[in-house]
Amino acid sequence: MQKIRQLDEEISDGVNLLISILVRFPEIGTIRFDQHNNSLKTTFMLSSIPSGSEFKEIRRLLLDSLAAYHMLEGLAATLTEIELSTYERMAMLTILRDVHTLSKGEFALIITLLRDCFKDRLVSESNDVMLEEDLLMQEEQIDNMLENMKQQHIAQSLIGFREDGRVVVFNK
What is the mean predicted confidence (pLDDT) over 163-171? 85
| Residue 3 confidence (pLDDT) | 43
Domain positions in the chain are 2-171
Q: If pLDDT is split at 50, 70 and 90, which confidence band does 106 have?
A: very high
Q: What is the pLDDT of residue 55?
A: 96
- 158-163/80-87 β-pairing: unpaired
Q: In the beta sheet, which residues pair with residue 81?
A: 96
Mean of the per-residue pLDDT values for the chain?
Answer: 86
Tens-digit pLDDT profile for residues 19-61: 989 988 999 999 999 988 889 999 999 999 999 999 999 999 9
User: Angle at the Cα of 153 (from 148 to 157), degrees rounded to 5?
Assistant: 105
Q: What is the pTM of this model?
A: 0.87
What is the distance between the alpha carbons of residues 149 and 99, in angstroms, rounded to a whole number?
7
Does residue 152 register a pLDDT over 60? yes
